Homo-oligomer: A and B are copies of this chain.
Amino acid sequence: MSTNLTQYFKDKRDQHLAELTEWLSIPSISALSEHKSDTLKGAQWIADQLEKIGMENIKLHPTDGHPVVYADWLHAEGKPTVLIYGHYDVQPVDPLHLWETPPFEPAIRDNKIFARGATDDKGQTFMHVKALQALMDTDGELPVNVKFLIEGEEEIGSVNLPDFVEKNQELLSADVIVISDTGMQEKGKPAICYGLRGLAGIQIDVKGAKGDLHSGLYGGAVQNALHALVRLLDSFRDDNGVIQVDRFYDKVEGLTDEEKAAYENLQFSDDELKKELAVTELAGEKGYTTLERMWVRPTLEINGMWGGFQGEGIKTVLPNEAHAKITCRLVPDQDPDEIVELLTSHVHAHTPPGVTVNVTPFDKGAPYVTPYDHPAIQAAGRSYEKIYGVPTQYIRGGGSIPIVATFDQLLQKPIVLMGFGLPGENFHAPNEHFHLENFDQGLLVIADYYNELSKAFKK
């Protein structure tokens, strides 16, 4: 079969890339209201694809935000059912001027496809569709039962999906959940992610005097909102990178010795990361390795900050407003709701005199970790090994897929995080791209995995 499929994907490659280009051209930015209809177009496009490859019961389920795309094919009697999750929404694209080619005009250079959403997550979701189409085309049927759940709010914290999952547990019931929205360890080294950090964050809005003031006339007399914000933000971490929010670390699980050893075996190179990011030194919480800081330690980052005059030249204003957005990556067993409360208390306890502060929470996601010896996960590891010819690594991921924790809690089935992204592919940054060798090999891995699952995993 593998030879057949290799030829099949080779024959269809141009067509596949043309189709993916179509999808990537739709600016389905869920965070920006002016892209609401584009986001809907992104949903409709993938729904049409699912229909083309023979899926059934295709529906755009409305939510309070962007719709959820559902489709299924349930004719593999006695075989396990796979719920495939992906998302059709993408991150905003600013700063736009740093893109070498426009984010929604996909361009192939050096065997990579450059576009917003190329890896995160249109590219990876698309691979599941094409792998299943290949099986359907070559075998006339699928080796497993399949349900697709493709949402449009992953990049804004999957606001409405938990409610949808809770209300549609029967529709979504499955034996295993497969998600391709993570990455490999490095080029040529496939990896399965068995843990993810969660997410919690707030926007901080500082207000001082009734309006902007002349810094000459009033400078020295009244609190500058920017200074107040700077003082407040600086109170969040100490010189060692340790987060100073009271009780922030209370529920953080330590690493087992086994995990520590496994991470050391990965031979992660600080030097290579420095080179990749073009920095002279790495930075972060003292006392932990870089991998530990990225995977198993919580973080607090300012994502944006602004106030006062940003134009060319000088304006001697004493600004009366200042704003910041901060988010934390969370690890088991931190609770996002509790963390938002702790952050809010910290802000109020550290607000300098002479200003008022308003705190608005962002949407949240719980951290997640799962045993990686489950047969569904081990089968995926074998498929990777077959195609890539090297052992599969079992890793944790620093990012958050908020819905993973929800699936874990509500559906209570094994979740297989099969990632095909690579570090440095600029998810969430300008010039996002996807290495096409992982597109090519990934299609084979996914097709093989569904065949393996059909045998290895009894209902």
Q: Kindly list chain B residues whose C-beta atoms are within 8 Å of the C-beta of A223.
A: 279, 281-283
Q: Kindly list chain B residues whose C-beta atoms are within 8 Å of the C-beta of A284.
A: 220-222
Q: How far is the CA of A183 from the CA of B199 in the complex (A)?
A: 52
A209 nearest CB neighbor, chain B only: B277
Shortest C-beta distance, A84 to chain B (Å), equals: 22
Q: Kindly list chain B residues whose C-beta atoms are within 8 Å of the C-beta of A304.
A: 226, 307-311, 315, 317, 319
Shortest C-beta distance, A5 to chain B (Å), equals: 31
Specify which of B32, B226, B316 is in contact with A327 (CB 8 Å cutoff). Answer: B316
Q: Kindly list chain B residues whose C-beta atoms are within 8 Å of the C-beta of A306.
A: 305-307, 310
Q: Kindly list chain B residues whose C-beta atoms are within 8 Å of the C-beta of A319.
A: 302-304
Beta-carbon contact of A312 and B33 below 8 Å: yes
With contacts A220-B297, A307-B304, A398-B219 taken as known, whether A283 is within 8 angstroms of B314 at the C-beta atoms is no
Q: How far is the CA of A396 from the CA of B94 in the complex (A)?
A: 46
Beta-carbon contact of B398 and A217 below 8 Å: yes
Shortest C-beta distance, A423 to chain B (Å), equals: 7
Decide yes or no whether A212 CB sits under 8 A from chain B: yes
What are the interface flags for A311-341 relative to B under an 8 Å C-beta threshold, 1 for contact and 0 otherwise? 1111111110011010101000000000000
Decide yes or no whether A397 CB sits under 8 A from chain B: yes
Beta-carbon contact of B353 and A302 below 8 Å: no
Decide yes or no whether A136 CB sits under 8 A from chain B: no
What are the interface flags for A153-172 relative to B under an 8 Å C-beta threshold, 1 for contact and 0 otherwise? 00011000000000000000
Q: Kindly list chain B residues whose C-beta atoms are within 8 Å of the C-beta of A237.
A: 227
Q: How far is the CA of A285 from the CA of B213 in the complex (A)?
A: 18
Beta-carbon contact of A305 and B322 below 8 Å: yes
Q: Kindly list chain B residues whose C-beta atoms are within 8 Å of the C-beta of A457.
A: none
Q: How far is the CA of A177 from the CA of B131 in the complex (A)?
A: 84
Q: How far is the CA of A183 from the CA of B216 in the complex (A)?
A: 12
Specify which of B156, B219, B226, B311 is in contact with A31 (CB 8 Å cutoff). Answer: B311
Shortest C-beta distance, A178 to chain B (Å), equals: 20
Do most interface residues of chain A lie in helix, strand or loop, or is the interface mixed? loop
With contacts A219-B301, A293-B221, A302-B308 taken as known, whether A431 is within 8 angstroms of B211 at the C-beta atoms is yes
Beta-carbon contact of B353 and A208 below 8 Å: no
Beta-carbon contact of B94 and A311 below 8 Å: yes
Specify which of B94, B224, B312, B429 is in contact with A214 (CB 8 Å cutoff). Answer: B429
Beta-carbon contact of A218 and B327 below 8 Å: no
Q: Kindly list chain B residues whose C-beta atoms are within 8 Å of the C-beta of A229.
A: 305
Q: How far is the CA of A218 from the CA of B315 in the complex (A)?
A: 35
Copies in the complex: 2
A318 nearest CB neighbor, chain B only: B301
With contacts A31-B311, A92-B315 taken as known, whether A211 is within 8 angstroms of B430 at the C-beta atoms is yes
Beta-carbon contact of A311 and B219 below 8 Å: no
Beta-carbon contact of A220 and B398 below 8 Å: yes
Shortest C-beta distance, A156 to chain B (Å), equals: 6
Residue of A218, A227, A399 contacting most chain B CB atoms (<10 Å): A218
Q: Kindly list chain B residues whose C-beta atoms are within 8 Å of the C-beta of A329.
A: 215-216, 219-220
A308 nearest CB neighbor, chain B only: B304
Beta-carbon contact of A354 and B428 below 8 Å: no
Beta-carbon contact of A212 and B428 below 8 Å: yes
Q: Kindly list chain B residues whose C-beta atoms are within 8 Å of the C-beta of A234.
A: 230-231, 233-234
Residue of A280, A323, A362, A429 contacting most chain B CB atoms (<10 Å): A429
Shortest C-beta distance, A422 to chain B (Å), equals: 11
Q: Kindly list chain B residues whose C-beta atoms are within 8 Å of the C-beta of A197.
A: 216
Beta-carbon contact of A215 and B303 below 8 Å: yes
Q: How far is the CA of A32 from the CA of B315 in the complex (A)?
A: 11
Decide yes or no whether A459 CB sits under 8 A from chain B: no
Q: How far is the CA of A284 from the CA of B222 in the complex (A)?
A: 6
A278 nearest CB neighbor, chain B only: B210
Q: Kindly list chain B residues whose C-beta atoms are within 8 Å of the C-beta of A31.
A: 311-315
Q: Which residues of A contact B (CB under 8 A)?
A: 31-33, 91-92, 94-95, 98, 156-157, 183, 197, 199, 201, 208-224, 226-227, 229-231, 233-234, 237, 241, 273, 277-285, 290, 293-294, 297, 299, 301-319, 322-323, 325, 327, 329, 352-356, 362-363, 397-400, 423, 426-431
A-B contacts, 6 listed (Cβ < 8 Å): A33-B312, A209-B277, A210-B278, A212-B429, A220-B329, A316-B327
* Closest CB pairs A-B (n = 7): A216-B399, A304-B308, A220-B293, A210-B278, A304-B309, A234-B234, A223-B283
